[in-house]
C-alpha cells in the first residue's frame, strides 16, 4: 500500500512539473518565402552596389555569375567534386571558410552548391549569391549568424561521376 501511495505521489509531482513547462504557443515557424524576399533585396542591393553584370537568377532565389565556364564535365548532384572555395557573409570582407582542393559528394553540400555547381564545367569558376534558405536557413553555425545571405567563390577543379 505504501508503494502505491509513493508511486501516485511521484506521478502527481511529475504531472505538476510538466504543467509548468513553457508551451510552444508563441513559436513561429520559419517562413521561407518571407525570408527569401528579404534575402533577394539584400542580394539585389549587393549586385547594384558592386556593379556586377551577367548575374543570373534562378527560381530558387540563387543568383550566380559564371566567371569561367570550364571545359571538362558538368557535375550532377550524385558526382564527387573537388573544389577550391571561399565563403563570405554578404557584408563581410574576410572569409568565414575557405579551402583548396576539398573533395565532397555534391549531394552532401548545401543546396546552393547543388544548384550552382552544375552550371559550370570542370575547370570553371562561379560566384554564388546565396539566400539564407539555400545555405543554413534560420540556424546559426560557426561564424555564420542565422538567416545569413552568403557569397561563395568556387572553382570546380575535378568531377568524378
pLDDT higher than threshold 80 for residue 3: no
* 54 is a domain residue: yes
Record the cell numbers describing residue 86, joined without a space: 571561399
* 127 is a domain residue: yes
Say which CATH number the domain at 112 has: 3.10.50.40
pLDDT higher than threshold 60 for residue 29: yes
pTM exceeds 0.85 for this model: no
The total number of structural domains that make up the chain: 1
What domain range is 102 assigned to?
A: 29-160
pLDDT in tens, 106-126: 999 999 999 999 999 999 999
pLDDT in tens, 122-152: 999 999 999 999 999 999 999 999 999 999 9
* 130 is a domain residue: yes
Half-sphere exposure of residue 46, counting CA atoms within 13 Å on the CB side? 22
User: What pLDDT is recorded for position 27?
Assistant: 64
* 84 is a domain residue: yes
* 16 is a domain residue: no
96-125 as b/e: b if 16+ CB within 10 A: eeeeeeeeeebeebbbbbbbbbbbbbbbbb
Amino acid at each position: 500500500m505504501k508503494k502505491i501511495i509513493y508511486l501516485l505521489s511521484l506521478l502527481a509531482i511529475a504531472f505538476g512539473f510538466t504543467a509548468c513547462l513553457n508551451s510552444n504557443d508563441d513559436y513561429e515557424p520559419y517562413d521561407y518565402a518571407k525570408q527569401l524576399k528579404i534575402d533577394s533585396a539584400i542580394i539585389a542591393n549587393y549586385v547594384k552596389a558592386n556593379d556586377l553584370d551577367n548575374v543570373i537568377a534562378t527560381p530558387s532565389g540563387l543568383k550566380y555569375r559564371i566567371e569561367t565556364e570550364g571545359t571538362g564535365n558538368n557535375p550532377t548532384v550524385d558526382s564527387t567534386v573537388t573544389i577550391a572555395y571561399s565563403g563570405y557573409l554578404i557584408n563581410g570582407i574576410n572569409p568565414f571558410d575557405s579551402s583548396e582542393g576539398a573533395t565532397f559528394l555534391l549531394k552532401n553540400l548545401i543546396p546552393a552548391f547543388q544548384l550552382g555547381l552544375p552550371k559550370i564545367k570542370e575547370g570553371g569558376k562561379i560566384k554564388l549569391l546565396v539566400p539564407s534558405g539555400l545555405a543554413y536557413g534560420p540556424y546559426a553555425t560557426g561564424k555564420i549568424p542565422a538567416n545569413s545571405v552568403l557569397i561563395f567563390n568556387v572553382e570546380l577543379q575535378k568531377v568524378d561521376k
